[in-house]
């Protein structure tokens, strides 16, 4: 059986085509992948929700104030200007570039850490991850397999023993290892092909001439290994006749054997022999070794039966050194790790213990056969337990695991490398393909490619994803606060019949000028100290949360508005203005008061951008100047403020007037109160003061 799309490197043969297009194996996978809907990222959902809320607020206020202004006797054009002012004040114009910058910078940092992001908004999805479904070989382990143990003649032997090559039956073991094998060695002595088969060749080359053995035993038939049969059989012709060789999962090999090779003699395979073999199989697997059974027979009639058992080979694939720390990070971050492997359950559990994924007796293990038998309700119950290992799993089982986890409310990141993994990778919230061992189909279906096939890289990427989400939230908290001092002047103008404290032009200069660069600086803020100590954010948590709205609109925004009105009225009264007096828009006193209101917003926004840099940690501890982009944004903000206030050429454009140092400093106490008041709030949050953490932690 060959699949469409198979590349034949050498040789010739005749093939009978019995299926084309969607009727092929590749076609079935393509159809399943096509039918699997791409899951919208949590960030996309949250941004859509945020846009709807802000748009509703902006349009509602704009229409309301247009009607109020018009009914109050204002001209149509004046009412229209007020409505536009309200709309402009509410819309965060810098959201798109900030989100793009956050994601782009995170993608760049992740690429340096060997994680290649294909879809920008997938960066944040990693931060929302609650479950990581990972392969074992090459992801948790080094994919550097070597033969470690032999079980022959009912005895366990270490491959480093000096007389290992002298034991009875060793020549048969070499024949099976070399002839029932599709890997090959290159001129440098490295293997090309499957790592397990490569390990057998690398071991055999120290005891036999592989090229000579292969030439002397022509292969005339092959039943290849696959995840269902779990065995490989080759039929070879030599000068001594035709022989068949078998390797694969020990339990499968034993079913096909009727004899066992003991001290060079072929004797019947009894129940005692089988129990001893299975006992040592479990023993080797419990040490984390990958086990293969080896057998042979003379002739090739009834090719699936009457084999002679020769040996078990135990291979070790050491865990990556950085994996235990990565697993520990996942635990502290509240992320569950599910291992999905084709290996025996004992082997999988042993590796899980070595990397700190489970402790003794903690693992909840399910095999591929179990998966075929249980219904979705039982599977959900199993997956809710945590510390899950899916052993003897076929690639097709991954999709069911992913969809079941999503059905119980988890945000799932899944790894894969094969063509059959494509549906699971596409359906997962975050699909991660292997860059080294992965197929092009898997990489195409995935959202991220691991350039080093390393699980620890996923955990590093999760940290980046959480930081991205926090940075977007910081940006929103920052830009929303200035909405209040931009909106309240129009409300006060309509309700209290005072000169308009802020013009539409100055609002635009705040939103598109002074606010933009500091906000972009927040987009590249580094993570806080406890970013991987917090559980994943709940699915129901909104980007625009009630706490964030309350902090931005109800506290910080109100303080900024208070600073603006304080500066505005102080200057008016110092100039002799009395309540109810109308001022011309060209009156120097009015221009100076408007400029003071505008300056107050910018000065308070400097304090605001500093407090928005952290959500729990003290910004003093993090360093006021540690984010050079924010510092650059503040400097540009002050330069723009100085240009608008003191440059005579910009006065007509912006409707401003020069201020004295005293007039400019009227809002500084408010800015200091914003900064130190928020530092105290964060201190209370770190001290776990329940009320503050519940209602004032955005």
Q: Which residues are catalytic?
A: 135
Q: What stretches of 392-515 adopt beta strand conformation (E)?
A: 412-416, 430-434, 448-450
Contacts of 17 (CB under 8 A, 6+ apart): none
371/399 Cα distance (integer angstroms): 12
Helix/strand/coil for 290: strand
Say if CB 566 and CB 666 are below 8 A apart.
yes
Cβ count near 268 (within 10 Å): 8
Helix/strand/coil for 448: strand
3-state SS, one letter per residue, for 244-284: EEEEECHHHHHHCEEEEEECCEEEECCHHHHHHHHHHHHHH
Helix/strand/coil for 183: coil
The kind and range of the H/E element at 78 are helix 76-90
Q: Which two tokens stand for residue 79?
A: 């009412």
Q: Report in angstroms the alpha-carbon separations of 133 from 136, 335, 415, 459.
A: 10, 11, 6, 12
Compute, in degrees rounded to 10, the torsion defined by CA atoms 606, 609, 614, 618. Answer: 0
Q: What stretches of 153-264 adopt beta strand conformation (E)?
A: 155-158, 184-185, 191-192, 218-223, 231-238, 241-248, 257-262
Say if CB 415 and CB 434 are below 8 A apart.
yes
349/287 Cα distance (integer angstroms): 9
Say if CB 289 and CB 146 are below 8 A apart.
no
Q: Report in angstroms the alpha-carbon separations of 367 from 281, 385, 392, 401, 491.
A: 17, 16, 5, 12, 66
Q: Report in angstroms the alpha-carbon separations of 434 from 39, 141, 451, 457, 458.
A: 20, 13, 7, 11, 11
Say if CB 125 and CB 47 are below 8 A apart.
no
Contacts of 584 (CB under 8 A, 6+ apart): 590
Contacts of 195 (CB under 8 A, 6+ apart): 137, 138, 143, 144, 145, 317
Q: Give the angle subtended at the CA of 352 by the CAs of 349 and 356, to the nearest 5°.
A: 140
Cβ count near 23 (within 10 Å): 11
Instruction: Give residue for tokens 């697997």.
Output: 285
223/138 Cα distance (integer angstroms): 26
């Amino acid at each position: 059986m060959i699949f469409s799309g198979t590349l034949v490197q050498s040789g010739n043969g005749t093939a009978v085509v019995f299926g084309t297009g969607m009727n092929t194996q590749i076609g079935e996978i393509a159809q399943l992948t096509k039918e699997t809907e791409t899951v919208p990222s949590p960030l996309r959902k949250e941004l859509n929700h945020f846009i709807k809320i802000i748009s509703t607020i902006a349009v509602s206020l704009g229409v309301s104030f247009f009607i109020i202004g018009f009914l109050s006797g204002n001209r149509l054009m004046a009412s229209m200007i007020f409505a536009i002012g309200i709309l402009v004040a509410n819309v965060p114009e810098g959201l798109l570039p900030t989100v793009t910058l956050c994601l782009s910078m995170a993608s760049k940092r992740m690429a340096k850490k060997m994680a290649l992001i294909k879809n920008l908004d997938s960066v944040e999805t990693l931060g929302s991850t609650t479950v990581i479904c990972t392969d074992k070989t090459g992801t948790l382990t080094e994919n550097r397999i070597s033969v470690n143990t032999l079980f022959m003649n009912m005895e366990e032997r270490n491959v480093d023993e000096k007389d290992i090559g002298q034991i009875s039956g060793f020549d048969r073991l070499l024949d099976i290892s070399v002839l029932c094998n599709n890997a090959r060695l290159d001129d440098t002595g490295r293997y090309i092909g499957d790592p397990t088969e490569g390990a057998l060749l690398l071991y055999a080359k120290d005891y036999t001439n592989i090229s000579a053995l292969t030439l002397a035993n022509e292969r005339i038939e092959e039943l290849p290994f696959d995840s269902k049969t779990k065995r490989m059989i080759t039929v070879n012709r030599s000068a001594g006749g035709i022989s068949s060789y078998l390797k694969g999962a020990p339990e499968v090999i034993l079913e096909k054997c009727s004899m066992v090779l003991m001290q060079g003699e072929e004797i019947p395979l009894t129940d005692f022999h089988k129990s001893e073999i299975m006992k040592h199989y479990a023993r080797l697997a419990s040490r984390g070794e990958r086990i293969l059974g080896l057998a042979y027979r003379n002739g090739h009639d009834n090719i699936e039966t009457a084999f002679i058992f020769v040996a078990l080979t135990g291979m070790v694939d050491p865990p990556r050194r950085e994996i235990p720390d990565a697993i520990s990070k996942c635990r502290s971050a509240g992320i569950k790790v599910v291992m999905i492997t084709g290996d025996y359950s004992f082997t999988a559990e042993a590796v899980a213990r070595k990397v700190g994924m489970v402790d003794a007796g903690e693992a909840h293990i399910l095999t591929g056969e179990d998966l075929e038998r249980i219904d979705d309700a039982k599977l959900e119950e199993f997956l809710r337990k945590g510390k899950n290992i899916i052993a003897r799993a076929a690639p097709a089982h991954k999709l069911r695991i992913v969809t079941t986890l999503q059905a119980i409310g988890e945000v799932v990141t899944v790894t894969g490398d094969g063509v059959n993994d494509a549906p699971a990778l596409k359906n997962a919230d975050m699909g991660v393909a292997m860059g080294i061992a992965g197929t092009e189909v898997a990489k195409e279906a995935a959202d991220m490619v691991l350039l080093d096939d390393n699980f620890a890289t996923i955990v590093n990427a999760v940290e980046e994803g959480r930081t991205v989400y926090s940075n977007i939230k910081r940006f929103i908290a920052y830009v929303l606060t200035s909405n209040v001092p931009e909106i309240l002047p129009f409300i006060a103008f309509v309700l209290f019949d005072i000169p308009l404290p802020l013009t539409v032009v100055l609002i635009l200069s705040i939103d598109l000028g002074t606010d933009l660069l500091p906000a972009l600086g927040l987009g590249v803020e580094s993570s806080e100290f406890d970013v991987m100590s917090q559980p994943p954010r709940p699915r129901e948590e909104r980007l625009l949360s009630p706490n964030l709205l309350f902090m931005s609109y109800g506290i910080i925004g109100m303080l900024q508005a208070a600073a603006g009105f304080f500066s505005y009225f102080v200057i008016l009264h110092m100039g002799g203005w009395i309540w109810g007096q109308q001022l011309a828009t060209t009156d120097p006193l009015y221009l100076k008061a408007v400029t003071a209101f505008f300056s107050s917003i910018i000065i308070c926004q400097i304090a605001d951008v500093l407090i928005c840099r952290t959500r729990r940690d003290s910004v003093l501890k993090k360093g006021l100047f540690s984010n050079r982009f924010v510092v650059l944004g503040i400097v540009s903000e002050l330069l723009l403020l100085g240009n608008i206030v003191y440059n005579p050429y910009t006065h007509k454009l912006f409707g401003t007037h020069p201020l004295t140092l005293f007039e400019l400093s009227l809002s500084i106490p408010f800015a200091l109160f914003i900064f130190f008041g928020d530092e105290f709030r964060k201190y209370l949050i770190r001290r776990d003061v329940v009320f503050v953490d519940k209602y004032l932690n955005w």
